[in-house]
Amino acid sequence: PKVTYELPDGSVHDVEVPCGQSVMDGSVRNNLPGIVAECGGSCSCATCHVFLDEGEFDEPTDEERELLEFAEGARPESRLSCQLILDDSCAGVRVTVPGTNG
């Protein structure tokens, strides 16, 4: 499925991300800046914080919610992008990458 990333510099990038990969994987594999993903996707760092503008995913786990409390500038639509796994039913996913993940 296609994922649209709005980066901290305001540029917008459309990337085709294979099913089974996460929104974080799609960013890292395409060398887009802003999603640091220090822990490599194991839901323990919060440097993959994004705002989920569009797209349906499972509700965050308690672990993800707790980590998001440490994410700078978190909002109700904040998610950890390594926990947003794409599948065939994901249409029109769009995230905004904050400039505070470093």
What stretches of 1-102 show up as alpha helix (H) in DSSP? 23-29, 62-68
For residue 71, state whether it binds ligand FES (rule: CB under 6 A).
no
CB of 90 to ligand FES, least distance (A): 18
CB of 7 to ligand FES, least distance (A): 17
Question: Considering beta carbons, is residue 10 or 59 the nearer one to ligand FES?
Answer: 59
The 29-48 site mask, x for binding ligand FES (CB under 6 A), equals --------xxx-x-xxxxxx
**Which of 45, 31, 29, 33 has its CA nearest to residue 83?**
45
Q: Which residues 6+ apart lie within 8 Å of 9 measured at CB?
A: none
What is the layout of strands, in order, in the sheet containing 78-80?
12-16, 2-6, 93-96, 49-54, 78-80
CB of 85 to ligand FES, least distance (A): 12
The 8-27 site mask, x for binding ligand FES (CB under 6 A), equals ----------------x---
CA–CA separation, 98 vs 6, rounded Å? Answer: 9
Q: Which residues bind ligand FES (CB under 6 A)?
A: 24, 37-39, 41, 43-48, 80, 82
